């Protein structure tokens, strides 16, 4: 299935989140160590970024390392940290050249000082870019995200600059990660599991969810195009009825 930007531009998602699952299983099926799968997964990241740039999708968020992933074997975690550092150093100039703005979301305090410095340098270099915003969720958890937003508001209340009764969904949302970007429209999970694993809990409130069997290293343009086509075919109601949405769409066309 192919995508036509002329016929589907208005229906395309403005923000896609992907849980990149299946690297380890992919490697094991090849008779390779799990870290080999993570390395091959970097190629899939490049393809996904390029795909979003071609379709002018404003934001792409990739779940690279969850706050629960520290529980994995120590050698695998160590290899992931080394790979993260390597990819930052190798890819950042190309991202910058292509006007991609890089944002790392999550609790970065647990990373090494060296890695934190590299992250800050990469974000600073690309901060002024106006193309795709690539968010990489590292040591991220949706519950952490909501908790850190609540902590920020709690500190304001304690300081006397905010009244507790003034806290509402809109104010809390303004302290959630990526609050300055488009709402999450589509969440994809590769690898066959049907759960969101503490990823973008707040942001996914009205996102369309898609679970596919494809392992992340095999995620290519065709698989991504099929995912976008599935999204476009859905009727998004946001609490309204289908009839209301169709009436609104008809009125918009006539207007």
Q: What are phi and psi of 67, to 5 degrees?
A: -65, -20
Q: What's the pLDDT at 65? A: 83
Q: Cβ neighbours of residue 12 under 8 Å, at least 6 residues apart? A: 5, 55, 56, 57, 228, 231, 232
Please, which pLDDT band fits residue 6 given cuts at 50, 70 and 90?
very low
With bands split at pLDDT 50, 70 and 90, how would you rate the model's confidence at 72? Answer: confident
Band of residue 67 on the pLDDT scale cut at 50, 70, 90: confident
Can you give the pLDDT at residue 2? 42
Phi/psi zone of residue 117: left (φ > 0), alpha (ψ -120 to 50 degrees), beta? alpha
Instruction: Kindly give the pairing relationship between strand 15-19 and strand 186-189.
Output: parallel
Predicted pLDDT of residue 7 = 39
145 catalytic per annotation: no
Q: Are 245 and 236 in contact (CB under 8 A)?
A: yes
User: What count of other Cβ atoms lies within 10 Å of the Cβ of residue 20?
Assistant: 23
Contact 191, 215 (CB under 8 A): yes
Span of 10-14, 46-50, 230-234 with lowest mean pLDDT: 10-14
Of 95-99, 165-169, 231-235, where does mean pLDDT reach its minimum?
231-235
Active-site entry in 43, 69, 129, 226: 69
Convert the pLDDT of each residue in 82-104 to its tens digit: 888 888 888 999 999 999 999 99
Residue 209 CA to residue 15 CA, distance in Å, equals 13
Residue 3 has a pLDDT of 42
Given CA atoms 22, 23, 28, 34 in this order, what sign does their dihedral have? Answer: negative
Angular region, 162: left φ>0, alpha ψ -120 to 50, beta rest: beta
Say what the pLDDT of residue 8 is. 44
d(Cα 216, Cα 14) in Å, to the nearest integer?
A: 21
In this structure, are residues 229 and 1 in contact, taking their beta carbons and an 8 Å threshold? yes
Q: Say what the pLDDT of residue 239 is.
A: 61
Residues 178/180/185/186 CA torsion (nearest 10 deg): -30
Annotated catalytic, 107?
no
Q: How far apart are the first and last CA of the chain?
A: 32
Q: Which residues contact 88 (CB under 8 A, 6 or more apart)?
A: 115, 118, 119, 122
**70 pLDDT higher than 90:** no
Q: Tell the residue number behind the tokens 């003034």, with chain if given.
A: 166
Q: What's the pLDDT at 76?
A: 80
**Mean per-residue pLDDT of the chain:** 89
- Region of 180 on the Ramachandran plot (φ > 0 left; ψ -120 to 50 alpha; else beta): alpha
Separation between Cα atoms, residue 150 and residue 172, nearest integer Å: 7
Angle value at C-alpha 221, between 219 and 224, nearest 5 degrees: 70
- Residue of 203 and 11 predicted with greater confidence: 203
Task: From the candidates 21, 23, 135, 185, give the one annotated as an active-site residue.
Answer: 21
Enumerate domains of the chain plus CATH numbers: 11-254 (3.40.1180.10)
Q: What single-letter DSSP state applies at residue 27? A: H
What whole-number distance in Å separates Cα of residue 164 and Cα of residue 168?
9
Question: What average pLDDT does range 65-72 have in this prediction?
Answer: 81
Mean pLDDT of the region 17-43: 94
Query: Which pLDDT does position 120 carry in this prediction?
Result: 95
* Mean pLDDT computed over 180-198: 97
For residues 244 and 129, which has the higher predicted lDDT (pLDDT)? 129
Comparing 29-43, 59-73, 221-235, the range with the smallest average pLDDT is 59-73
């Amino acid at each position: 299935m192919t995508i036509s930007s002329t016929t589907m531009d208005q229906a395309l998602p403005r923000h896609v989140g992907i849980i990149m699952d299946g690297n380890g299983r992919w490697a094991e099926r090849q008779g390779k160590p799990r870290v080999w799968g993570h390395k091959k997964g970097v190629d899939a990241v490049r393809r996904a970024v390029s795909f979003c740039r071609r379709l002018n999708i404003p934001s792409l968020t990739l779940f690279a390392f969850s706050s629960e992933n520290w529980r994995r074997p120590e050698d695998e975690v160590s290899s992931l940290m080394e790979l993260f550092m390597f990819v930052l150093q190798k890819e950042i100039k190309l991202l910058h050249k292509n006007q991609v703005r890089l944002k790392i979301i999550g609790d970065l305090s647990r990373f090494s000082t060296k890695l934190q410095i590299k992250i800050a340098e990469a974000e600073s270099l690309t901060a002024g870019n106006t193309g795709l915003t690539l968010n990489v969720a590292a040591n991220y958890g949706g519950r952490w995200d909501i908790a850190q937003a609540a902590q920020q508001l709690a500190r304001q209340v304690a300081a006397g600059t905010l009244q507790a009764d003034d806290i509402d969904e809109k104010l809390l949302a303004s302290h959630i990660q990526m609050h300055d970007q488009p709402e999450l429209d589509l969440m994809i999970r590769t690898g066959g599991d049907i759960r969101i694993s503490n990823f973008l809990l707040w942001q996914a409130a009205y996102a369309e969810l898609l679970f596919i069997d494809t392992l992340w290293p095999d995620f290519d343009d065709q698989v991504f195009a099929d995912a976008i086509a599935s999204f476009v075919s859905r009727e998004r109601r946001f609490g309204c009825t289908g009839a209301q949405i169709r009436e609104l769409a008809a009125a918009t066309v006539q207007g």
